[in-house]
Amino acid sequence: NKTLVGSTIGTTLDRFINKKQSEFPFATGELSQLLRDIALAGKIINVEINKSGLLDIAGAYGTTNVQGEEQQKLDVIANIRFIRALKNGGQVCAIVSEEDDEIVEINQDSNYVVAMDPLDGSSNIDVNVSIGTIFSIYRRVSPNGSPVSREDVLQKGQKQVAAGYILYGSSTMMVYTTGHGVNGFTYEQSLGEFVLSHPDITCPNDGSIYSVNEGSYFSFEKGVQQYIEYCKEQRYSARYIGSLVSDFHRNMFKGGIYIYPRTDKALNGKLRLVYECNALAFIAEQAGGVATDGEQRIMDLDPLELHQRTQLFIGSKKMVEKAESFL
Ligand code: P6P
């Protein structure tokens, strides 16, 4: 295990953000503040998640979100916490959230848009499996002070200025990029701070772990079935947690591929382009990995709808290329 020594490892997220900002002379500090606001919301949700087993907030909330999924109470709480933290932080003009059917307009005098899945994998909450927050950050394209437009929130993934996730697992980690590499921070309970624990994360170019829900095997297209057979012939390991952030995070460190292809129940795949796939695609590419929909680069896809779904093949470069060779 890494010992927290040296000037970089052990730096708090706050100091890291300040140091990085100083490397950009024209930085206004707005993006820095936004990243801090997200980290704050993550800390608050971390507390809620850790006590959810004790309080009756883990159970289903009774309402359903645009996915038609039972909205877990923690889903709703996480969404409220993030929206409140971003509103109070003052940097955000609009939010797109898995939990809100429409654009959440915040402050038309602010410059940033956040697209987020506040708590992905929430069906895992009440069985104590890790869950995650996924977020993308864009600069608005409409003039400051004007009403927020759909063009502000439906930007291609290549326009992201930052992206990241918070993984509430055996330890709580925040991993993010601003386009200059990927860095991982571990929440240090005693300090109440995220501390730099995994600087300059790189995804192995190849791997032997594949993550896909083989329960849907018979409804996968032939090429996907053939790639799964290939993985078995290679004696790869099957690891599918049912929590995208957990599978993605493990594959980024160990090497691996996560696939959510189209099925008979999910004709365009299940995962959402705007607030799940684009963020992880940005991180994957910044770490040396790749992310496609089986044909095109995820970050080149044109979002037409807020909750648009896409197929996702993401992880080690050679594994994604191999999978695509079967499609
Ligand atoms: P399935 C959780 O609902 C999620 O969005 C991802 O976190 C996870 O990888 C996937 O869906 C699981 O979906 O259809 O395999 O149960």
Q: What is the ipTM of this complex?
A: 0.98
Query: How many whole angstroms from 21 Cα to the centroid of ligand 1?
Result: 35
State yes or no: 1 annotated in a binding site: no
- Give the H or E element holding residue 41: helix 30-52
Query: Of the residues 120, 166, 212, which should be mutated to test ligand 1's pocket, given the most ligand atoms within 8 Å of the CB?
Result: 120
- Looking at per-residue confidence, does 10 or 194 come out higher? 194
Instruction: Give the pLDDT score at 9.
Output: 79
State yes or no: 206 annotated in a binding site: no
Query: How many whole angstroms from 62 Cα to the centroid of ligand 1?
Result: 20
Nearest CA to ligand 1 atom 10: 242
% pLDDT > 90, the chain: 80
According to DSSP, the residues that pair with 312 across neighbouring strands are 260
Query: How many whole angstroms from 271 Cα to the centroid of ligand 1?
Result: 8
Q: Which amino acid belongs to residue 1?
A: N
pLDDT category at 304 given cuts 50, 70, 90 is: very high
Tell me the C-alpha distance between 29 and 140, whole Å.
16
Atom of ligand 1 at shortest range from CA of 247: 9
Binding pocket residue ranges, ligand 1, CB within 6 Å: 120-121, 123, 213, 242-244, 270
- Give the H or E element holding residue 85: helix 73-89
% pLDDT > 70, the chain: 91
Beta-sheet pairing, 162-168 with 92-97: unpaired
Nearest CA to ligand 1 atom 12: 242
Nearest CA to ligand 1 atom 2: 121
Which conformational region is residue 128 in: left (phi greater than 0), alpha (psi within -120 to 50 degrees), or beta? left
- Residues 171-180: pLDDT tens digits? 999 999 999 9
- By the 10 Å C-beta count (0-12 exposed, 13-18 middle, 19+ buried), 262 is classed as buried
- Residues 9-18: pLDDT tens digits? 779 999 999 9
Query: How many whole angstroms from 195 Cα to the centroid of ligand 1?
Result: 29
- Residues 83-99: pLDDT tens digits? 999 999 999 999 999 99
| Residue corresponding to tokens 């437009």 | 149
How many helices and strands (H and E) does the chain possess?
A: 8, 15
Query: How many whole angstroms from 213 Cα to the centroid of ligand 1?
Result: 8
Instruction: Give the pLDDT score at 55.
Output: 58
Return contacts of 45-51, CB within 8 angstroms, 24+ apart: 45/74, 45/77, 45/78, 45/81, 45/82, 45/118, 45/119, 45/133, 45/166, 45/168, 46/166, 46/168, 46/172, 46/187, 48/74, 48/77, 48/78, 48/81, 49/74, 49/125, 49/131, 49/168
Q: Which amino acid belongs to residue 147?
A: P
Instruction: Give the pLDDT score at 7.
Output: 45
Atom of ligand 1 at shortest range from CA of 243: 7
Nearest CA to ligand 1 atom 14: 213
Instruction: Give the pLDDT score at 23.
Output: 83
Q: Which of 2-11, 17-26, 187-196, 219-228 has the highest mean pLDDT?
A: 219-228
Nearest CA to ligand 1 atom 5: 121
Task: For 227, list phi and psi in degrees, rounded to 5.
Answer: -65, -40
**Strand, coil or helix: 210:** strand
pLDDT category at 69 given cuts 50, 70, 90 is: low
Query: How many whole angstroms from 85 Cα to the centroid of ligand 1?
Result: 27
Query: Can you tell me the mean pLDDT for 212-230?
Result: 98
Total length of the chain: 327
Instruction: Give the pLDDT score at 157.
Output: 98
According to DSSP, the residues that pair with 139 across neighbouring strands are 112
Nearest CA to ligand 1 atom 9: 244
| Alpha helices by DSSP H, 236-276 | 244-254
Tell me the C-alpha distance between 297 and 315, whole Å.
12
Nearest CA to ligand 1 atom 15: 213
pLDDT category at 123 given cuts 50, 70, 90 is: confident
**Strand, coil or helix: 69:** coil
